[in-house]
Structure 1
Amino acid sequence: MTQVSNNSTVKSVLFVCMGNICRSPTADAVFRQKAREQGVDIDVDSAGTIAFHQGEMPDKRSREVGEARGYDFSDIRARKVVKEDFENFDLIVAMDQDNLQELQHQCPKEFQHKIKLFLTYAKDRAEICVPDPYYGGSHGFEHVLNLVEDASEGLLREIRIKG
């Protein structure tokens, strides 16, 4: 299991994918609810490495799949990662290798330790990246949600241990 963030207590998490309309808002909604259910007080947000969908709600397919399992997307809007995020968040979690590399490129050296790959926290997955479901069918969104639920549980477990 990967260290959460430089052995420090995590009070805020930022989930990041490319456009912030599929994977990272799903992680935002799932992690926020699971943390609340487990009594973990933590700030949760999501962002994208590009600003193409700035201000938009998460993709309808992500919302439909997530809402069918009881997750709330109502207050999530797409935004781009900004310089202040690297300082303000204790943990910055990338959905895939491309976004991980983009975050590492943008991030000041003193905050590099905060950037992690999300599926390193998953318990039962052979995959290392959450695949982008945008151009696929509804099965892809279900698969993403399954991966996100698993990794969210693992991350919360680690946060509770370190907290």
Structure 2
Amino acid sequence: MKSTVPDTTAPYRVLFVCMGNICRSPTAHGVFETMVVRAGLGKRVQVDSAGTHSYHAGATPDARSQEHALKRGYDLSGQRARQLRASDFDDFDLVLAMDWDNLALAQAMCPPQHVRKLRRLAEFFEQHDSAVVPDPYLGGTQGFEDVLDLVEDGCTGLLRHVQQQLRAPWADPE
């Protein structure tokens, strides 16, 4: 008989999703990964990103995303774009879309038993009142700064959520 108690030694896995996986989701990936390491959870939390489309598969994040992120201490240069896979819903504990369109595309490929894993990063905002992280790709410099502001806010709230998940009652009985 399979145990219903979660494996508390397995890492908690978070996947960020946008359209092409070159602007918003790699930015969130880099920001959250940095926050996780700074919180001392680098061995307990794994972070990745993907796109709902394959336009940029294998490409590095957009140069503007990298430039703005680096100014704030986030290095995105080691990331490579990839497309969201059906298996990601099995492999990740939380799949976070950047906007409504990409949420809908991810929902269309998400198996029913994993729908609870699929959310928007905006649900974790603590300071901003926005339903999405807008795509800066066709905009100017300010769009990339705005994305970083939203992503940092969302990742701060997300880190609190993940820390709570790692301290769930089955992992720390009292």
Do they fold alike, i.e. is TM over 0.5?
Answer: yes
Q: Which has the higher contact order (CA 8 A, sep 6+)?
A: 1
C-alpha distance in 2, partners of 1:30/1:117?
Answer: 16
User: Match for residue 90 of structure 2?
Assistant: 87
Unaligned runs of 5+ in 2: 1-5, 167-174
3-state secondary structure, aligned to 2:164: helix
Query: Is 1:124 the equivalent of 2:127?
Result: yes
Structure with larger Rg: 2
Unaligned runs of 5+ in 1: 1-7
Give distance in 1, aligned partners of 2:114 and 2:100: 18
2:87 alignment partner, SS class: helix
Q: SS at 1:16's partner residue?
A: strand
Cα displacement (A) at 1:95: 0.3
Task: Please say if 1:105 is aligned against 2:108.
Answer: yes
- Secondary structure in 2 matching 1:83: coil
State the alpha-carbon separation in 2 of the partners of residues 113 and 129 from structure 1.
19
**2:79 aligned residue (67, 76, 80):** 76
Q: Which amino acid aligns with 1:22?
A: C
Cα deviation for residue 162 of structure 1 reads: 2.3
Query: Which runs of at least 4 in structure 1 moved beyond 4 Å after TM superposition?
Result: none
Query: Which residue of structure 1 aligns with residue 146 of structure 2?
Result: 143
Question: Identity of paired residues, percent?
Answer: 48
Quick one: distance in 2 between partners of 1:70 and 1:162?
Answer: 27
CA RMSD of aligned residues (A): 1.2
Normalising by structure 2, we get a TM-score of 0.87
Q: 1:20 corresponds to which letter in structure 2?
A: N
Q: Is the Cα–Cα contact under 8 Å of residues 66 and 77 in structure 2 kept in the other structure?
A: no
Q: How many residue pairs were aligned?
A: 156
TM-score, L = length of structure 1: 0.93
